[in-house]
Structure 1
Amino acid sequence: MPDVHERYIVITGGPGSGKTTLVEHLGAQGFATRPEAGRAIIQDQLAISGRALPWVDPALFAELMLSWDLRSYREPAGPGPVIFDRGLIDTIGYLRMLGRTVPRHLLAAAGTFRYHRRVFAAPPWPEIYEHDSERRQSLGEAERTYEAVVRAYADHGYDVVALPRTPVEERAAFVAEAARQ
């Protein structure tokens, strides 16, 4: 994989579909990983009583996600694949899902900061979906998020590959094999 963006592999999908568990598992196998922006931002904003929460100020939340994702993109990594728990295109899908205009600078970032052409999408998985203090979406909202982010990646020229609904070890093997191609 000669270009840096070809080493950057995104795992996307709706909330509660096993993305983070998969990324953490791949990290334990030695892959460099980048954490999801949204959950960390929500945790930070709740801790400081901030406004950049998806249920308070979605536009500000989206700006912080973009900033986080740009920083994650630029963080140094070794020579091998880097697994991202979501990428900046997810923010485009999020805003579209809300019926909001996607700012030009976000579209410019999507064209400039590219990932591997193959993006892995974790489909909605009702059997493992759970609410928590940061994940307040209903299963229906999680499904709409999945559809919106998959569409956003496809619209930006990525090949979206659905992950199987299998145990994390099998999902990891599926992604690891593709990452080495």
Structure 2
Amino acid sequence: MQQKIVLIGGPGTGKSSILREFIRRGYECMPEISREVTLKAQKDGIDQLFLEQPLLFSQLLLEGREQQYLEAHQSDAEIIFFDRGIPDVHAYMNYLGSDYPDIFIEKSNKYLYNKVFMCAPWEAIYKSDNERYETFEQSVKIDTFLKEAYEEVGYNIIDVPFGSVQERCDFILHSLKHDV
């Protein structure tokens, strides 16, 4: 049976680095798509779509993450890792205090992951860039909204300890083998 594993956490917590290591180790991975959505909007003249039109941004993310989930479902891979999952979308809307359609929660309940691993805010590795505009303090706050959103859907969240990328990947794989 295929395992869909999602990595969550605020911006700059090391998720993408972990995913790159899993790719290097031969695992199938679904990358974070918010950078792609942000860069496309910037090409279309919208500097920060998430800030300027949060509902549109979130709808595009929801569509993209649903598509990733469906693509993963067609794969023969035993384990597929996701850099963020569908509940992230409404978690960010909650963080902003924005209203959103019920479909956001409905899709979070429809497309389920087998395990959720959370990378906590870690100031030592945090960096902002062109697509990651949040401060470290905002990353900490976002982290709490992510945890709440996933717990509301019914997930048991497994905390990934700080350490090297390799150590963090090893922890996740060990947890999967021993069904934490």
TM-score range, shorter chain: over 0.9
1:79 is matched with: 77
Tell whether the 8 Å contact from 1:11 to 1:19 is kept in structure 2 after alignment. Answer: yes
Q: Secondary structure at 1:55's aligned position in 2?
A: helix
Report the Cα offset of residue 121 of structure 1.
0.6
Tell whether the 8 Å contact from 1:119 to 1:158 is kept in structure 2 after alignment. Answer: yes
Q: Distance in 1 between matches of 2:15 and 2:170?
A: 14
Report the Cα offset of residue 179 of structure 1.
3.1
Aligned mate of 1:100, from 93, 98, 101 = 98
2:109 is matched with: 111
- Decide whether aligned partners of structure 1 residues 27 and 95 sit closer, same or farther in structure 2, where only a CA change above 3 A counts: same
2:174 aligned with 1:177: yes
Report the Cα offset of residue 49 of structure 1.
1.8
1:12 is matched with: 8
Matched-pair identity in %: 27
2:145 aligned with 1:148: yes
2:62 aligned with 1:66: yes
1:56 is matched with: 52
Report the Cα offset of residue 47 of structure 1.
2.1
1:43 is matched with: 39
AA of the residue aligned to 2:105:
L
Structure 1 stretches lacking a partner, 5+ long? none
Q: Secondary structure at 1:130's aligned position in 2?
A: coil
2:87 is matched with: 89
TM-score normalised to the size of structure 2?
A: 0.93
Structure 2 stretches lacking a partner, 5+ long? none
Q: Distance in 1 between matches of 2:48 and 2:76?
A: 32
Aligned mate of 1:136, from 133, 136, 156 = 133
